[in-house]
Amino acid sequence: MDREERAGSKQDRPKASVEFYWIEEGGRHLAPGANLILYPDYPEVRMSGFLRGCRGAPSELMNQRLDGRVMFFGVTADGRVLGYVVPDGHPLANEVKAVHWQRLGVFLELSALLGRDPRATLLAELKRVHEMGWIAGQRLRGGAIVPYSAPNAGGYTLEAELGVSPNGNAEPDFMGWEVKQFGVSNFTRYTPKSPVTLMTPEPTAGVYRTEGVEAFIRRFGYPDTRGRQGRLNFGGIYRYGGAPHARTKCSVFVEGFDPATGKIADIDGGIYLRRAAGEEAAAAWSIRGMMAHWNRKHAQAVYVPSMCQNPPRQYQYGYPVLMCEQTDFILFLKAFVAGKVYYDPGIKLVEEAGATEIKPRSQFRIKHSHLTELYHSHKIVDVRTA
């Protein structure tokens, strides 16, 4: 079976247009036929059609298999993609080949041309934060640092020191790097105190989306186990292949991914939370959405150890950090069906004084010892000497 048969027909493969421009000295030229095609069983995305219908396209260079040519890609803040290509021997091609650039997957990252190497800048900032010693719990709000002493202040405090405002988007935290902290008892021979929260995507289907979070928690949640009146919770740990949760009666199912082959069989599948196979989903996350979220946010990630003391709540951040690169969503799905990544929600509904407050939080987590299985490249780096 050849590659084309394994990937399915062109009509079967998801395709999306992309706003792509070729750049030349006289300006830029829109390539109206440019699109991205997803090969979900690899997973791999190919770009095609970037010459079709474009008057200013460098067709002579792109239509021939010329050794040594170099193609540059850039993405603007509003999502447009810019392209520029030069032949072998061009001054730009010579400069690219003369320098050992940092790799980002199959690409060379040329950010250092702008005077700032993202990796070096991140390590310098983490060294600065480490040398600060104990830092009071805080977070950024409206551009200003404000005190914050909740149990989850460790991540917010580190983000505040790095100038990262809390947000719910799927962008990396710092110059293309996702920054995660985890609690430890010391920085030399430590055992992480708790699992790492990988991402917190909201469900994209199921009762949670069609009827709302309140309907979801009233149907599938349970009274607070500490006896707090007027409160319903939806929590617990949900692993693929595990028994239904004792209180919610829900289990997680995966559709569209074949654990035996380790490939995506149906891009329209997803991760489903149900009380029984075939039953209406309480909540669901599409493979398409999860893949986009994961690959965009976790292409490069750094995991930083932290210690906490209180009162008052303070944090100190360590010097050995785990830097992980070159992920793909197949690794995430493999870890999920192996039970290493799991769903660990913290959703609650509180009724008080005639008002209803809902706090949604869907978390996918993993033990620190399994983190490196989600990336093709990883390294422990001492920020004091990097």
Q: What is the pLDDT of residues 163-188, one digit of tens each?
A: 987 765 667 788 889 999 999 999 98
Strand duo 81-86 + 20-24: pairing: parallel
Predicted local distance difference test score (pLDDT) of residue 143:
84
State which residues of the chain have pLDDT below 50: 1-9, 11, 113
Q: How far apart are CA 189 and CA 90, in angstroms?
A: 51
Task: Please tell me the number of Cα atoms within 13 Å of 94 on its side-chain side.
Answer: 3
- H helix runs in the chain, sequence order: 3-7, 59-63, 91-98, 118-131, 153-161, 207-210, 213-220, 287-297, 329-337
Reply yes or no on domain 119-382 having CATH 3.30.70.3570: yes
Contact present, 192 and 184 (Cβ < 8 Å)? yes
Q: What is the maximum span of the chain, computed from C-alpha positions, in angstroms?
A: 74
Domain residues of the chain, as ranges? 3-98, 119-382
Say if residues 231 and 348 touch (Cβ distance below 8 Å): yes
Amino acid identity of 303? Y
In our burial notation (b when 16+ CB lie closer than 10 A, e otherwise), range 235-269 reads bbebbbeeeebeebebbbbbebbeeeeeebeebeb
- Chain-centre distance of CA 316, in angstroms? 25
The two structure tokens encoding residue 322: 């785990």
The whole-number pLDDT of residue 129 equals 97
Structure tokens at 192: 């992480």
Cβ atoms of 126 and 321 within 8 Å: the answer is yes
**pLDDT number for residue 274:** 97
Q: Report the pLDDT value the prediction gives residue 167, as an integer from 0 to 100.
A: 63
Residue 93: its H or E element: helix 91-98
Contact 126/383 with Cβ under 8 angstroms? yes
**Other Cβ atoms within 10 Å of 128 Cβ, number:** 13
Return the pLDDT at 9: 47
Instruction: Give the CA-trace dihedral at 130, 132, 133, 139, to 10 degrees.
Output: -90
Beta pairing partners, 21: 30, 82
pLDDT score, position 118 = 85
Q: 314: closest CA among 128, 188, 132, 125?
A: 132
